[in-house]
Structure 1
């Protein structure tokens, strides 16, 4: 298995930690993404590569009828445990287990970069109703915050971050042009240890050897304990939600 595939399949062993330590998604970004539909209420929504339900739970709270699809059994089990009453199915972006033209929106939260777009985009087009929207969202650390930029350097290891940039979403004849917007967001952390725990849910940290991970964690803790922004009590990690939408065209 190559490194990309190993990383894509690495999250299951960290499912509980992922659910505990990863950020959720801002409501404002979700509502913006649904604007082309003319309503943002009570829609049939598919959360694709739903993970442990970080995005699913927000979509449900907004009142939508949500189907969550996730390939990893451990992640899907954690989703079912934490998001009650949601329809949850095993499946891949390249083979979505729902009928043709049955959803108004397909959301992908911090996972689109794992897809084989040549196969996933036609599948997403298949399940969307004409006029529906494909929404790809990423939660990223705010690059303009100095201490976060320095922490990123401190946490570097033998495996690079490697997330594809959102601009690499492929054009496809079933969809209109990509539109994008950025929203401010944050993650509350109680301690430096809690932020280190968040970093340890990234695939680049999961796939490295234990001794390398321990050394990186030690460096991150030392850095965070020295920084005034993070050394005393709870703190907020400044984030950005990068949201991109494409409208499904009529056949």
Structure 2
């Protein structure tokens, strides 16, 4: 697992997998190393401090867009065993639900970037087009996360643009958030809709072992 969180590592290890986590931050790696079933090392994903062809799977959750694909993809391919997989995923909020759209519109009256939904998922195109991973599949899982009125107000109040408002303007905005929550909850309460977007791609080591060919149309300098 590359640059994972404690929650992610603990979840994967709970299924009986032997997990090796790689994180750039030594303090984060130390925290991950205390999780049962997890061994963590400090290192750069673009230059993995690991032996070649020794892993059955590499997983990157919520952070693939922060990596340099031209460097990290050949490194991941190198440490995977032949036929093994790279998994890339993002948990993405679904802003098409009416009450969520209303909340976003309300927050954007004071912060244009509020709930912008920029998760970096477009970076997966680098994986899909990679010669190191020529075969891939994509799946989506719907998740509903319960949220109560107070949590919704706290989430709005925590935004820097909302904190920067004067007390009257902030109180007015949070009152509107509370009214939206009361109006939208219904009998089953509020649930934030998310989609877990997952890609799985199989490694092809041919690209790593191909001989380097000479380009015949290059510039020739005669000495």
Q: Would the TM-score normalized by the shorter structure come out above 0.5?
A: yes
* Partner residue of 1:95 out of 47, 50, 57: 47
Question: Structure 2: where are the runs of 5+ without partners?
Answer: 207-223
- Where does 1:1-251 land on structure 2 (aligned, <5 Å)? 47-50=1-4, 52-80=5-33, 83-156=35-108, 157=111, 162-166=118-122, 167-170=124-127, 171-193=129-151, 196-197=154-155, 210=160, 212=161, 214-215=163-164, 218=170, 221-226=174-179, 227=181, 228-229=183-184, 235-251=190-206
* Larger CA deviation: 104-113 vs 179-188: 179-188
Q: Deviations over 1:78-127 (max 9, x none)?
A: 4445x334111122221222211111111111101111111111111111
Deviation at 1:194, TM superposition (A): 6.3
Structure with the greater relative contact order (CA < 8 A, sep ≥ 6): 1 or 2? 1
Structure 1 residue 191 displacement after superposition? 4.6
Asked if 1 retains the 8 angstrom alpha-carbon contact of 2:136 and 2:200, the reply is: yes
Q: Aligned with 1:169: secondary structure?
A: helix
When the two chains are superposed, the root-mean-square deviation of aligned CA atoms in Å is 3.2
How many residue pairs are counted as aligned between the two chains?
Answer: 193
**Runs (5+) with no aligned partner, structure 1:** 1-46
Q: In the TM superposition, what whole-angstrom CA distance separates every residue of 1:154-193 from its partner, at most 9, and x where no partner exists?
A: 4454656543334533422221233211101133435533
Q: 1:189 to 1:94 in 2, by over 3 A?
A: same
Shift of 1:61: 1.5
Q: CA deviation at 1:145?
A: 1.4
Q: Which has the larger radius of gyration?
A: 2
